Chains A and B, each alone.
Chain A
Amino acid sequence: KAGVTQTPRYLIKTRGQQVTLSCSPISGHRSVSWYQQTPGQGLQFLFEYFSETQRNKGNFPGRFSGRQFSNSRSEMNVSTLELGDSALYLCASSFAGTGGNEQYFGPGTRLTVT
């Protein structure tokens, strides 16, 4: 079974621009969660989508948004990029979502904002 894939793997953007990241979950998984990982804050939860609906959201500003398509693929968008948005963005897929279900992570997208 293919794992979670994320594209692109690396991205360099300028402050003020916007960016869209993509995630394809494991086949059959309906939940996709997004995380931001930085050396200072560690892994922080952004949001979770399940069957095309945002089910949970972390404590991030509205510049961070996402969506999920009918095939469970998900995108996240960051508008008006700031230097502090430089991070590894990880998505994780799960059959039934957060809680007691295992989440399987993709390799991440390394975003650098200059």
Chain B
Amino acid sequence: EDQVTQSPEALRLQEGESSSLNCSYTVSGLRGLFWYRQDPGKGPEFLFTLYSAGEEKEKERLKATLTKKESFLHITAPKPEDSATYLCAGGSARQLTFGSGTQLTVLP
């Protein structure tokens, strides 16, 4: 059975304090590893897709990386507007399997 585990469940950072979110996955026939951002009361917003180990993608203060077993979302010098729940998901031929998310709070 496909499984995606995210840690930590919650993270509080001071503005400007960089950190990383972890996503461990066991997905049979992985076709892509996805990162989403979800704000309260809204649907997930697509951030990145990673396809192979060693791949990296960046967008503003976010950088996603992928190994054969894990993905990391690095947040550099975060701002309060980066506060949200970050979800990762493994894509197989059948479906996307989501982790439970990391709730990030960035304090001013």
A residues touching B (Cβ–Cβ < 8 Å)? Answer: 4, 33, 35, 42-45, 48, 56, 58, 90, 92, 98-108
Contacts of B100 in A (CB 8 A): 42
Contacts of A99 in B (CB 8 A): 31-32, 91-93
Does B94 contact A100, Cβ atoms closer than 8 Å?
no
Chain A nearest CB from B36 CB (Å) reads 8
> Are A42 and B91 CB-contacts (below 8 A) given A100-B31, A102-B49, A105-B43?
no
Instruction: Name B16-61 residues within 8 Å CB distance of A.
Output: 31-32, 34, 36, 42-46, 49, 51
Chain B nearest CB from A111 CB (Å) reads 14
Does A45 contact B43, Cβ atoms closer than 8 Å?
no
Does A56 contact B94, Cβ atoms closer than 8 Å?
yes
Known: A48-B95, A99-B31. 17 other contacts (CB 8 A): A33-B96, A42-B98, A43-B87, A43-B89, A45-B96, A45-B97, A58-B95, A90-B44, A92-B43, A98-B91, A100-B51, A101-B91, A103-B34, A104-B46, A105-B36, A105-B46, A107-B43
The interface on chain B, measured as residues whose beta carbon lies within 8 A of the other chain's beta carbons, has a size of: 24
Contacts of B51 in A (CB 8 A): 100
Does A102 contact B46, Cβ atoms closer than 8 Å?
yes
| Residue in A closest to B49 when the chains form the complex, CB atoms | A102
> Are A103 and B46 CB-contacts (below 8 A) given A42-B99, A42-B101, A43-B87?
yes
Does A105 contact B94, Cβ atoms closer than 8 Å?
no
Task: Choose from B31, B42, B95, B99 the contact partner of A45 (Cβ within 8 Å).
Answer: B95
| Residue in B closest to A104 when the chains form the complex, CB atoms | B46
Contacts of B36 in A (CB 8 A): 105
Does B45 contact A105, Cβ atoms closer than 8 Å?
yes
A111 to B44 CA separation, bound complex (whole angstroms): 17
A43 to B86 CA separation, bound complex (whole angstroms): 12
